Chain A
Amino acid sequence: MYVPVIRKIINRNNTFLERVLPEKGDISVKIGDKVSPYNPLGSCKISYNQLILPQKFKPLENLNFGKLSQGATLGKFKKEYIHAPYNGFLEKDILKDRWIFKETGREYTLLSGAWGTVKNIVEGRSVLLEISSKDFLMPVTCGNICSGELIVFPNPSELLIGSFLENFTKDVSGKIFYIGGHVGLTTVMKAHSLNLSTLLAGSVSKDAYTFAKSKNISLGVFEGFGEIPTSKVIFDELKNISSRFVFFDVERHLFRVPMPEKLDNTVVKKPLKQLSIGDTVQIFQAPYFGYMGTVDTINESSILVKISKNSNLIEVFMPNFFLVL
């Protein structure tokens, strides 16, 4: 019996990672350089705020457009004067024929976020790194590609997730939260009210997923819909990498964790494998939907699986199981 293989975690030694500056700036590394997560790769200046001025706005004559202090008069709209809300500069948007007041650019430093080697550079814009990574499979995702520091909650029950969120989310910007084995609508709504933008979990309810999608929250799930606990093999890895800078690729269903050293990736990645006794399978059949087990007996169109040492054998019919490697 040949069965497709799910690879929940894949070790890779030749992952390419592109790190991009948000605006054109300076790249401070060169091809061949070895970098660590906190090494700067480059910098640029970015304006965090901008004020789009009305179409009929007229700037003052003899105004120093390039450097305007907070409170300075910018010009007139109808009969009212408009003042600078912060230090900045005035710029004409030729395409839309309007004026924009932008905040003076602040220094932005692009960090590597991973251990690796610089393979290529687009001058002033981006750096391509070759890194080693552990790639986690996420069958269910929504939202946008993002990266940030990983915060791992210790699989709290749904009741406790609320208090975890309140106590451990003082500074949420740029962070990715693994919030537990299962998340429901209440949890996702709470996370949204606390401005968490990226959430990971073992499984998610349909309502919670729909809500996350509607609010553009990046959500990644390791197992599927319903109340499926996070596989032990995944949680064991996650708890060891808390605080690591990680990458979440929604489109490719990938959660990528950079690793400091070369990994063993000698496993042959064939998509199908002949099932053998002792293999690990994931069951997708009630009442053990999402559980992992060991193959005990192989019949013509079903298998007998042991979920734990002392459990009875469960008959699982084809195609309601996949091999897990």
Chain B
Amino acid sequence: MPIITAYVGTSNLCILLYKSKTDYEFFYSPYIYLPNLFSNYTTEEEFYTTIIKLFCKKNGVEFDKCDIYVSGFVAVPEFKDPKFKRVSFVKLFDNMPNIYPVLVNDFAFATKFFMVASTSYGFLKNVTEDTTFSVNKCVYPNLRPLELSSQLTLDKEVLDAVAKDKAIKWDPNTPIVFMGSRFYAEEERDLDYLYMFSLIHTPGVYDIYLDRTHTLLLFNMLNTVTEKDKLSLNLANIEHVGTLITGKGSVECLISSENGDAKVIDVDKNTIQKHSLEETSEYRLVIKNHSIGTVEKTVFGGKLGIIVDTRDNKVESFGNIRKVDSYLRILKN
């Protein structure tokens, strides 16, 4: 019997249709049920049922023959039809083995056993009257800003909230996987990377991954509900961004490749530097920094390679569009 697992975010919907270990399909939608807009004629249940039925039809699967499991953040949608089984997001998220998941949307940040929200009364705190887009996010949360300034306004809200909370403990020993509606996009965006690096404020050397389409979450839901590892939570299924070295003050890093080449990079304080590497090759790093200490680590190149981030105040620098633009240029090159 086919199994459908669906995740409803604050601004997007991701669905997995599982038929067998080698035959499964994804579906993504940038639209979710918005009670302020649709409650006058339809329900959340009818909305999602319509989408799932369309997806089933497209894949030649009978809707009635599927087992359907739905989870969501912050709330799991309500269904009267017993066919839909609700799965606790916290249960899924906290039980992702061997990774450190970080979920970010335009309003909240969550990691294992921890969550922080940036909104008050549904409004974003720092929006001004002229930012029609941002102020309407509480009515139309799925909208995507096209202007850099609007996206920065949204991102800074969450960054502020995360930076203020000292309870977040970043773990350099486990791969960090970013996911959530904030990163949902069909195209690659450099700002997403800069935003991820800005969220991590504890000095350390981190292995960074990005799961734009909640693949691991959907796999984990499937494995949890069936109590079998039907699809493995393999990091190869998602984008490997690279290695982030973040610390206060200057950083010295020795990079040795598999074929014996070695290179030393020195990075001044209060800047970002990128050092591209072969995406799938293995490298040995020796890092020296007064806040990190001396660290030795073996890493794979990843999409960006090594990023050394020594910015003093990540939140503040994110609020300055000129600075952001210069950092984006560094990441692009």
Binding site for B on A (CB under 8 A): 2-4, 6-7, 10, 135, 137, 139-140, 205-207, 210, 224-228, 252-254, 269-272, 284-286, 289-290, 301, 317-320, 322
The answer to whether A319 and B143 have CB atoms under 8 Å apart is yes
- Return B102 CB to nearest CB of chain A, in Å: 24
The answer to whether A6 and B38 have CB atoms under 8 Å apart is yes
Q: Indicate whether A2 sits within 8 Å of B136 (C-beta atoms), given known contacts A140-B36, A285-B146, A318-B30.
A: no
A-B contact count (CB 8 A): 94
The answer to whether B144 and A7 have CB atoms under 8 Å apart is no
- Return A82 CB to nearest CB of chain B, in Å: 44
- Return B140 CB to nearest CB of chain A, in Å: 6
Q: Indicate whether A139 sits within 8 Å of B139 (C-beta atoms), given known contacts A4-B38, A7-B40.
A: yes
- Give the contacting residue for A206; candidates B37, B39, B127; CB below 8 A: B127
List 5 contacting pairs A-B, 8 Å CB cutoff, sorted by A: A2-B29, A224-B140, A269-B42, A286-B150, A290-B132
Name which residue of chain B comes closest to A267, CB basis: B41
Which residues from chain B contact A210 at a C-beta distance below 8 Å?
Answer: 121, 123
Name which residue of chain B comes closest to A252, CB basis: B39
- Return A314 CB to nearest CB of chain B, in Å: 12
The answer to whether B147 and A286 have CB atoms under 8 Å apart is yes
The answer to whether B132 and A286 have CB atoms under 8 Å apart is yes
The answer to whether A317 and B42 have CB atoms under 8 Å apart is no
- Return A143 CB to nearest CB of chain B, in Å: 14
The answer to whether A225 and B144 have CB atoms under 8 Å apart is no
- Return A216 CB to nearest CB of chain B, in Å: 15
The answer to whether A6 and B37 have CB atoms under 8 Å apart is yes
The answer to whether A289 and B132 have CB atoms under 8 Å apart is yes
Interface: B227 (CB within 8 A):
no
Query: How far, in whole Å, are A286 and B39 apart by their CA atoms in the complex?
Result: 26
Name which residue of chain B comes closest to A139, CB basis: B36
- Return B30 CB to nearest CB of chain A, in Å: 4
The answer to whether B40 and A252 have CB atoms under 8 Å apart is yes
The answer to whether A319 and B139 have CB atoms under 8 Å apart is no
- Give the contacting residue for A317; candidates B34, B51, B146; CB below 8 A: B146
Q: Please report the total number of B residues contacting A with Cβ < 8 Å.
A: 35
Interface: B215 (CB within 8 A):
no
The answer to whether A4 and B31 have CB atoms under 8 Å apart is yes
Name which residue of chain B comes closest to A256, CB basis: B40
The answer to whether A226 and B135 have CB atoms under 8 Å apart is yes
Which residues from chain A contact B46 at a C-beta distance below 8 Å?
Answer: 271
Interface: B59 (CB within 8 A):
no
The answer to whether B40 and A10 have CB atoms under 8 Å apart is yes
Which residues from chain B contact A271 at a C-beta distance below 8 Å?
Answer: 38, 41-42, 46-47, 50
The answer to whether A207 and B140 have CB atoms under 8 Å apart is no
The answer to whether B143 and A320 have CB atoms under 8 Å apart is yes
Query: How far, in whole Å, are A140 and B30 apart by their CA atoms in the complex?
Result: 22
Q: Indicate whether A319 sits within 8 Å of B142 (C-beta atoms), given known contacts A205-B129, A206-B135, A207-B129.
A: yes
Q: Tell me the B26-69 residues at the A interface (CB within 8 Å).
A: 29-31, 34-42, 46-47, 50-51, 54
- Return B45 CB to nearest CB of chain A, in Å: 10
The answer to whether B37 and A225 have CB atoms under 8 Å apart is no
The answer to whether B144 and A319 have CB atoms under 8 Å apart is yes
Binding site for A on B (CB under 8 A): 11, 29-31, 34-42, 46-47, 50-51, 54, 121, 123, 127, 129, 132-133, 135-136, 139-140, 142-144, 146-147, 150, 186
Which residues from chain B contact A320 at a C-beta distance below 8 Å?
Answer: 143-144, 146
- Give the contacting residue for B30; candidates A6, A10, A319; CB below 8 A: A319
Q: Indicate whether A226 sits within 8 Å of B50 (C-beta atoms), given known contacts A137-B37, A137-B40, A140-B139.
A: no
Query: How far, in whole Å, are A135 and B42 apart by their CA atoms in the complex?
Result: 13
Name which residue of chain B comes closest to A320, CB basis: B143
- Return B211 CB to nearest CB of chain A, in Å: 20
Which residues from chain A contact B121 at a C-beta distance below 8 Å?
Answer: 210
Query: How far, in whole Å, are A206 and B47 apart by their CA atoms in the complex?
Result: 29
Which residues from chain A contact B40 at a C-beta distance below 8 Å?
Answer: 7, 10, 135, 137, 252-254
The answer to whether A253 and B36 have CB atoms under 8 Å apart is yes
Which residues from chain B contact A227 at a C-beta distance below 8 Å?
Answer: 132
Query: How far, in whole Å, are A6 and B139 apart by their CA atoms in the complex?
Result: 13
Which residues from chain B contact A6 at a C-beta distance below 8 Å?
Answer: 37-38
Query: How far, in whole Å, are A26 and B40 apart by their CA atoms in the complex?
Result: 34
Q: Indicate whether A270 sits within 8 Å of B129 (C-beta atoms), given known contacts A7-B40, A301-B186.
A: no
Which residues from chain A contact B123 at a C-beta distance below 8 Å?
Answer: 206, 210
- Return A220 CB to nearest CB of chain B, in Å: 12
Query: How far, in whole Å, are A295 and B281 apart by their CA atoms in the complex?
Result: 48
Name which residue of chain A comes closest to B35, CB basis: A253
Query: How far, in whole Å, are A270 and B54 apart by their CA atoms in the complex?
Result: 12
Query: How far, in whole Å, are A290 and B140 apart by their CA atoms in the complex?
Result: 11
The answer to whether A289 and B38 have CB atoms under 8 Å apart is no
- 7 nearest interchain CB pairs? A226-B132, A319-B30, A225-B135, A139-B36, A271-B42, A271-B47, A137-B40
Q: Indicate whether A272 sits within 8 Å of B50 (C-beta atoms), given known contacts A206-B129, A254-B40, A285-B146.
A: yes
Name which residue of chain B comes closest to A8, CB basis: B40
Query: How far, in whole Å, are A10 and B127 apart by their CA atoms in the complex?
Result: 33
- Give the contacting residue for B133; candidates A137, A289, A322; CB below 8 A: A289
Query: How far, in whole Å, are A16 and B274 apart by their CA atoms in the complex?
Result: 64
Which residues from chain B contact A286 at a C-beta distance below 8 Å?
Answer: 132-133, 146-147, 150
